[in-house]
Structure 1
Amino acid sequence: MTASRAARLGPVIEMAERAERDAARMLGQGQAQLTQAQSKLGDLEQYFGDYQQQWISEGSRGVSGQWLMNYQRFLSQLESAIAQQRRSVGWHSDNLDKLRAQWQQRHARLEGLRKLVERYLQEARVAADKREQRLLDEFSQRLAGRVKND
């Protein structure tokens, strides 16, 4: 009886395994997206630093008003891009946390189902062992009864 309960859970476990694999795949994709967003942020910050160095070197030689206005406009756009990319990194980080929680939930469900199946199988083994022992006991009693009668 309990072995058939374990067998009936087979399709449920397969579905749980698929769901856990899908969640793991999504978690991997989320991690890759976060890494990519962090890399882009690093590139923008590096570019910002390089551009500031250009200001120091150009500024020491003297610059025109037009160059200064273009520099300030570009720097403002770059700061805006950096702020936007920081928000993107934050979003990807939050999303990764959600994906990790989803994977953990699905993994825990799968492990719980596997433990339940193992318990059902163990119960089936115990029941089968008891049946076998009962049959052996009956056989021994019959055999002993025949030996006595002979």
Structure 2
Amino acid sequence: MSQRRAERLAPVVDMATETEREAARQLGRSLQQLQNSENQLVELRRYLGDYQQQWLTAGGQGVSGQWLINYQRFLTQLDSAIGQQQRSVEWNQENVRKAREQWQKCYARLEGLRKLVQRYLDEARAAAEKREQKLLDELAQRLRPQSV
């Protein structure tokens, strides 16, 4: 009986396995997107640092009013881009959190199903061993010489 229950659960375990694998793939994609957005943020901040260094170099030599206006305008745009990229990083972090949570749920369900199937298989094996032992005992009983 337990063997049949385990066999009936096989398609459910297969579906849960595929669901868990897809959740793991989604988590991987989310982690990659987070890494990409973090790398872009680092690059923007590095670019800002380089641009500020350029200001220090050029500012020491004297700059025109137009250059200063353009510099300020560009810094404002760069600050805005950094802010947007920071929000992108935060959004991707939230996606990773959700994807990890989903994967953990799928993994826990799969492990629960595997344990249930294993329990059914263990029960079936124990029942088979019990039946075999009973048959052996009966056979030994029959083969034992009868006292008169």
- Report the TM-score when normalising by structure 1: 0.96
- For 2:95 and 2:28, how far apart are their aligned partners in 1? 12
1:121-146 CA distances to partner (integer Å, 9 max, x unpaired)? 000011001111111111111112xx
Q: Which residue of 2 aligns with 1:47?
A: 47
Measure how far apart 1:148 and its partner are.
2.1
Amino acid at match of 1:148: Q
Q: Which residue of 1 aligns with 2:63?
A: 63
Q: Which residue of 2 aligns with 1:37?
A: 37
Q: Which residue of 2 aligns with 1:73?
A: 73
SS of aligned partner of 1:41 = helix
Q: Which residue of 2 aligns with 1:132?
A: 132
- Residue 97 (str. 1) matches residue 109 (str. 2): no
1:61-96 CA distances to partner (integer Å, 9 max, x unpaired)? 111111111000000000000000000000000110
- Residue 19 (str. 1) matches residue 19 (str. 2): yes
- For 2:57 and 2:139, how far apart are their aligned partners in 1? 101
- For 2:95 and 2:65, how far apart are their aligned partners in 1? 45
Q: Which residue of 2 aligns with 1:148?
A: 146
Measure how far apart 1:49 and its partner are.
0.4
Measure how far apart 1:104 and its partner are.
0.7
Q: Which residue of 1 aligns with 2:123?
A: 123
- For 1:26 and 1:81, how far apart are their aligned partners in 2? 27
Q: Structure 1: 5+ residue runs without aligned partners?
A: none
Aligned-pair identity in percent equals 59
Q: How many equivalent residue pairs?
A: 148
Q: Please report the RMSD computed on the Cα atoms of aligned residues, expressed in angstroms.
A: 1.1
Measure how far apart 1:149 and its partner are.
6.7
- For 1:134 and 1:148, how far apart are their aligned partners in 2? 20
- For 2:146 and 2:54, how far apart are their aligned partners in 1? 110
Measure how far apart 1:30 and its partner are.
0.6
- For 1:101 and 1:85, how far apart are their aligned partners in 2? 24
Structure 1 runs of 4+ with >4 Å offset: none
